[in-house]
Amino acid sequence: MKKFFWLFFVVGHLNLFAQDCDLPVPYSSGSTGDNMTLLLTDSFFLSLSDLALPASDNPYIVAINTKDIVVGSSSVKANDLDNGQQSIAVWGDDMYTTDIDGAIGGEAISLKLVDGNYLFSLASGVNMSYQSNNFFPIGYVAVDFDCDGAIKGCTGFSACNFDALATEDDGSCIYPQQYSDCNDQCLNDTDGDGICDELEIVGCTEPMACNYDPTATDEGSCEYFGIDSCNVSLMEVNRSDFKLYPNPGKDRINIQSAHKQERLEISMTNILGANLLYRSLSNVHPSDLIEVHLPALPSGVYTVTLSSSSEKSSVRWIKK
């Protein structure tokens, strides 16, 4: 048995005789309604001991028919064994389809060991042929190295699903969002609000303020009605052809014109510039009181623009 360990060491570490090959995957077709059982005894696993298994986290054995179809498989991880033994259900061909999808009566069955990216042939010295409902114990086996195959998976070291055993990238890598880890938690979040420091926006978060910023995530300075920076536009309107009141208000705006207007346009936008209101009025007289009702409008700061043929004025209006 020493020769098998030496062969594994040379192939595994120096790769002198390795050949690329396709590694058979575990059986996944499910029950065909007809099977036999192979019992892998403790003597079977003793014959694998010189291979220094496992080389991977998921070694498994497949049963293959003469058409190279995997007709059964089992994991041979230590915690999947039962008292040092394992069994393989070898599934027969079903009678419901014309395709050969299992073993046929009397057909020879061979065993292969897949451990990481290494493939081995296992020869028991006994002719294993498929027989429905049969029970076939397997003891000592001879182990021959077949080839060195590719293990497909994510090879991106910084990916959340990085596979250290993968030798060929299959495009399955999943990377975290910028500034976050693989659990969608911020790498830097000084205030613990769930918003990464790099994405924080400092601004006024008070809707009643003149400089309210609905996109702000961190509190900044706020400016309120009565401060010059918020009051200039109101003064300009009051000194023009138009009067707008009350400001601040609750659910309505009153507008009056100092002169007759053949046409008067009233529009309103929010702090982001989105249009919320537009009205066009004809033959507006100084005695006319124009009431604009806004009960459904959220509290905040808005811009009201009044346009006539001779003047255009804008004012910030605050809704309480």
Mean pLDDT for the stretch of residues 227-249 = 61
| pTM of the model as a whole | 0.46
- 127 with 253, same domain? no
Task: Count up the domains in the chain and report the number.
Answer: 2
16 and 139 assigned to the same domain: yes
- Confidence grade of residue 54 (pLDDT, cut at 50, 70, 90): low
Asked whether residue 23 falls in the same domain as residue 119, the answer is yes
Both 140 and 12 in one domain: the answer is: yes
Flag whether 160 is in a domain: no
Yes or no: say if 244 and 317 are a contact pair by the CB < 8 Å rule.
yes
Q: Which domain holds residue 277?
A: 228-319
Round the average pLDDT of the chain to a whole number and report it. Answer: 83
User: Residues 186, 178: contact at Cβ < 8 Å?
Assistant: no
Q: Which residues lie below 8 Å from residue 98, measured CB to CB, with a gap of 6+?
A: none
Do 232 and 148 reside in the same domain of the chain?
no
Two structure tokens written together for 36? 């036999």
On whether both 60 and 144 belong to a single domain, the answer is yes
User: Would you tell me how many other CB atoms lie within 10 Å of the CB of residue 107?
Assistant: 19
Q: What are phi and psi of 112, to 5 degrees?
A: -130, 140
Question: By the 8 A CB rule, do 169 and 175 touch?
Answer: no
165 found inside a domain? no
Can you give the CATH number for the domain in which 267 is found? 2.60.40.3080
CB atoms < 10 A from the CB of 255, how many?
21
Predicted local distance difference test score (pLDDT) of residue 216: 86
**What pLDDT, on the 0 to 100 scale, is given for residue 145?**
87
Is there a domain that residue 205 lies in?
no
Total H helices, total E strands in the chain: 3, 19
Single out the residue of 35, 97, 110 nearest to residue 69, CA to CA: 110
From 96, 128, 153, the end of a domain falls on 153
Q: Give the pLDDT mean for 214-226.
A: 78
What pLDDT score was predicted for residue 230?
A: 55
Residue 175, domain member (yes or no): no
